[in-house]
Amino acid sequence: MIQLSRICTFPMKSGAILERASADVGPRGIVGDRRWMVVDASGRFLTARTVPGMVRIAAEPVDGGLSLSMDGAQITIPTPVDGPRLSVTVWSDTVQALLARDGGWLSSRLGQDCRLVYMDDHLRRPVDPDYALSDDITSFADGFPILILSEGSLEDLNGRLARPVSMDHFRPNLVVSGCPAFAEDGWRRIRIGTVELALVKRCARCVLTTVDPRTGQRAADGEPLRTLSGYRKAQRGVMFGQNALVTRAGRIAQGDEVMVLS
């Protein structure tokens, strides 16, 4: 039986993983996933691709706000409900996000001028129309509400590496077990709990996979991306995992059966 083995969320884009035993899933993906984002002085998104240390910032939703912690320092930032909006850019998308007040906490930890913004329910960021099924929306994720990866695919990769890596290097939302390596490549529709997903595009991987999620250091040898590129390279990049849209909202839990509908 194919099962859901992990549920991973990222309350702040490029921050540390927050694992959940169960979660609600809505049109934007797992509720609370990547609703906060760090931007530079020009409003362009910052990620661990260029600021690897971001992966060491633990972000956790709390009543009325977001708790951030790093190296023993902690701050709670109220969720903005009104006030100024900032024009921010995520890849080719520009949206008007609410500006959060962190008092320079992030700038001092990341060593550069930056700001924290929040995606409220009024902000709608469409999925790339080349892959959207209708009026699909997403959060501050790179492009899709959900990223799925199987344990079998990671095992296949680790069998080719001199230094095995963890699943956290690839930052999936949903990890599944009980299927062969890369089985997820062929799935089109699945059901987990009361949630239904449409798998619409394999995920092209980047230099972020070379950042150690524990230390925030980039691998000097370019692994695991270098090995992946040797056998998972396609026309649109190095593929590992599947991006999905939410076609039926609901609730999921670790241990749920993953039913392949097509």
pLDDT band of 78, cuts 50, 70, 90: very high
Q: What is the pLDDT of residues 119-161, one digit of tens each?
A: 999 999 999 999 999 999 999 999 999 999 999 999 999 999 9
Q: What is the pLDDT of residues 179-191, one digit of tens each?
A: 999 999 999 999 9
Burial 9-40 (b: 16+ CB within 10 A, else e): bbbbbbbbbbebeebebbbbbbbbbbbbbbbb
Tell me, letter by letter, the H, E, C secondary structure of 111-134.
CCCEEEEECCCCCCEECCCCCCCC
Q: How many structural domains does the chain have?
A: 1
pLDDT band of 6, cuts 50, 70, 90: very high
Domain region containing 180: 3-260
Q: How far is Cα 33 from Cα 92, in angstroms, rounded to an integer?
A: 20
Q: How many residues does the chain have?
A: 262
Q: CB 215: neighbour CB atoms within 10 A?
A: 11
Q: pLDDT at position 151, please? A: 98
Q: What is the pLDDT of residues 17-67, one digit of tens each?
A: 999 999 999 999 999 999 999 999 999 999 999 999 999 999 999 999 999
Copy the structure tokens of residue 78: 């109220």
Specify the CATH number for the domain of residue 14: 2.40.33.20
